[in-house]
Amino acid sequence: MLADPSVKYRPFPQVDLPDRQWPSRTITRAPRWLSTDLRDGNQALIDPMDAEKKRRMFDMLVRIGLKEIEVGFPASGATDFDFIQGLVRAGIPADVWPQVLTQAREDLIVRTFDSLEGAERAVVHMYNAVSPAWRRIVFGMDRAQVKKIATDGVALLAREANRRPGTDWRFEYSPETFSTAELEFSLEVCEAVCDVLDASPDRPVILNLPATVEAATANIYADQIEWFCRNISRRDSVVISLHPHNDRGTGVAAAELGVMAGADRVEGCLFGNGERTGNVDLVTLGLNLYTQGIAPGLDFSDVDAVRKTVEYCTNLPVHPRHPYAGDLVFTAFSGSHQDAIKKGFAAQAQRNDQIWDVPYLPIDPADVGCSYEAVIRVNSQSGKGGVAWVLEQDQGLKLPRRMQGDFSRAVQALADETSRELNAADIWAVFRKEYGLDGGGRFQLIDYHEDYGPGGNKDRRFAGRITLDGREQSLSGRGNGLISSVLDALGSCGVALEVVDYHEHAIGAGTDAQAAAYVEARRPDGSLVYGAGIDPDVATASVKAVLSAANAA
């Protein structure tokens, strides 16, 4: 890299628009969407989609709710041409407009119209680049010549349409490279195109203003769009469309600001496939709107299925951190995030309204078909809240607060030792081991009997059979409750404990229900130990929990 990049790169000039309005506008409804997955997306693939993949993509786009779909570049070759003819023959849903792209060349235009033979309706989209670099480098033409490519081209569109009156034709024109062209020249070309096509309010022309290469910050694109919307002479006879690419990684921002600046329509691809760094991502745009309380008109309620289809058709993976849809976007590994999310879910469950307010989760995962189970996952960065969450989701165990800290230390030790993610089975195994659920501690309950002394209810007697250090023996004790009588019995084995906290709850319901009991106990030196017991009988669960604490002591 250069020490001084200014010798090679120039900053993008500002747009002279001191009274710009877009910064204080908000988006209040979804724009019209066009999917160009089958065109811009497809042309950028290592292996372009075959007919089967195209059909699968098309059907999914229709299911999602796309009403405008660019189905290909028919003059590119037989694959696109035949696919488009096949779609037309099979019948395109009545509320869906197929769109096709062509260069402004007569033979290509004729072939493009041929591909749509028999269609009820279609949009023919023609482009030519207008910016200085393309004029100079690609075409070797001046402004007038480049403008003539456009006007001659759209005249051919009108001619071909007139020759085929059985189809309801609409037109889209893209001054390709709009974002790096002089605004006045783009406007001049678009005005001329609208004149030739006789744009009117009932037959508006789509003017698509692409950021063919994203070359400036998103606010500059918004300025360009607002400037264009203000200056185009027949605003009511044109649909202003955006086509942002993502070279600077700000395609989504550019599209959003462009809509605030007055655009009616956005062209993009699912998950941002497309040339180089991609077209703007329709999934992110749609769900961004959704999280502002605006119905996007696109159904991503099973975003995972959408992702799998796109991955299959494009043979490109969607990044695990991709907004809303990546494998890891609803997953928190880090302790403080887990703690906040766990509290957020609990608060959400207690509130009496639907408003979503869970820390770190901008959208309810359930709305896009994701379950809550995977929201919190555990590794060495995790904390007690996350560990407790996984145990609760997996086993239904609701550990008391302080015990969460005790248990999490054991889980943390394993995570550090193994340097990997711990799944629910790992965590459950640590719990069973830590609290002696499978045996292994000094004290294990075989069975016990409880009765009352002369003092009645406050005079409980515990008589148990346990294994102590592997040897079976009897144990008895007395207290004013079951737990204190077990503690008394343990005292005779030299274990002095005072219970400072006790919790119990049911796990599950009906005949399969179990009870979980948790004990926090203090040793003579003041240190705390914890125990847990699980049993179909709640009293037995509590006895086991006390013995479990004794094992820890």
Ligand X SMILES: CC(=O)SCCNC(=O)CCNC(=O)[C@H](O)C(C)(C)COP(=O)(O)OP(=O)(O)OC[C@H]1O[C@@H](n2cnc3c(N)ncnc32)[C@H](O)[C@@H]1OP(=O)(O)O
**Which residues contribute to the annotated binding site for Mg(2+)?**
40, 243, 245, 279
Q: Is residue 99 near ligand X by the rule CB under 6 A?
A: no
x/- track of binding to ligand X for residues 105-124 (CB under 6 A): x--x----------------
Q: Is 451 exposed, middle or buried (0-12, 13-18, 19+ CB in 10 A)?
A: exposed
Q: How far is the CB of 206 from ligand X (least distance, A)?
A: 16
Q: For the chain, give the longest Cα–Cα distance.
A: 112
Minimum Å distance from CB 128 to ligand X? 4
DSSP helix/strand/coil, 528: strand
Q: Does 104 bind ligand X (CB under 6 A)?
A: yes
Residues with Cβ within 8 Å of residue 207, at least 6 apart in sequence: 172, 173, 174, 175, 190, 193, 194, 228, 232, 238, 239, 240, 241
Selection from ligand KIV, ligand X, none that 463 binds (CB < 5 to 8 A by kind) is none
Q: Which does 402 bind (CB under 5 to 8 A by kind): ligand KIV, ligand X, none?
A: none
Q: Residue type at 184?
A: E
Q: Which is nearer to ligand X, 143 or 398 (CB)?
A: 143
Q: Which two tokens stand for residue 468?
A: 């102590």
Q: Which one of ligand X, ligand KIV, none is in contact with 208 (Cβ closer than 5 to 8 A by kind)?
A: ligand KIV
Cα–chain-centroid distance for residue 96? 26
Q: Which two tokens stand for residue 297?
A: 């008109």
Decide if 84 contacts 73 (C-beta within 8 A). no
| Inter-residue contact 167 to 120 (CB < 8 Å) | yes
237 is a contact residue toward ligand X (CB under 6 A): no
Q: How far apart are the first and last CA of the chain?
A: 63
Residue 243 contact, options ligand X, ligand KIV, none, Cβ 5-8 Å cut-off depending on partner type: ligand KIV
* Orientation angle between helical segments 183-197 and 218-231, nearest 10 degrees: 40
Residue 25 in contact with ligand X, rule: CB under 6 A? no
Q: What's the closest the beta carbon of residue 127 comes to ligand KIV, in angstroms? A: 4
Residue 128 within binding range of ligand X, rule CB under 6 A = yes
Site string for ligand X, 207-226 (x = CB under 6 A): -----x--------------
C-alpha distance from residue 169 to each of 62, 166, 371 (Å): 20, 9, 45
* CA nearest neighbour of 123 among 137, 112, 111, 135: 112
- 45, 138, 155, 158: which one binds ligand X (CB under 6 A): 138
Amino acid identity of residue 515, one-letter, is: A
Q: Judged by CB under 6 A, does residue 348 bind ligand X?
A: no
Tokens of 538: 């709640």
Q: Using CB distances below 5 to 8 A depending on partner kind, what does residue 149 bind out of ligand KIV, ligand X, none?
A: ligand X
Site for ligand X in 254-293 (CB under 6 A): 275
DSSP string, 451-498: EE-TTGGG-EEEEEEEEETTEEEEEEEEESSHHHHHHHHHHTTT---E
Shortest Å distance, C-beta 106 to ligand X: 10
Indicate the annotated binding residues: 40, 243, 245, 279
Min CB(140)–ligand X separation in Å:
8
Residue 521: contacted member of ligand X, ligand KIV, none (CB under 5 to 8 Å, by partner type): none
Q: Do 372 and 393 form a contact (C-beta atoms < 8 A)?
A: yes
DSSP state, residue 164: -
Binding of ligand X by 73 (CB under 6 A) = yes
**In this chain, which of 21, 43, 348, 395 binds ligand X, going by CB under 6 A?**
43
Residue 275 Cβ vs ligand KIV, minimum distance, rounded to whole Å: 6
Query: Could you give the CA distance from residue 148 to residue 135 in angstroms, rounded to a whole number?
Result: 12
| Least distance CB 157 / ligand KIV (angstroms) | 14
Instruction: Count CB atoms within 10 A of the CB of residue 329.
Output: 19
Number of residues that bind ligand X (CB under 6 A): 17
Q: Which is nearer to ligand KIV, 275 or 394 (CB)?
A: 275
- Chain residues in the site for ligand KIV (CB under 6 A): 40, 101, 127, 174, 176, 208, 210, 212, 243, 245
- Residue 139 binding target from ligand KIV, ligand X, none, CB below 5 to 8 Å by type: ligand X
Binding site residues, ligand X, CB under 6 A: 40, 43, 73, 75-76, 103-105, 108, 127-128, 138-139, 149, 176, 212, 275
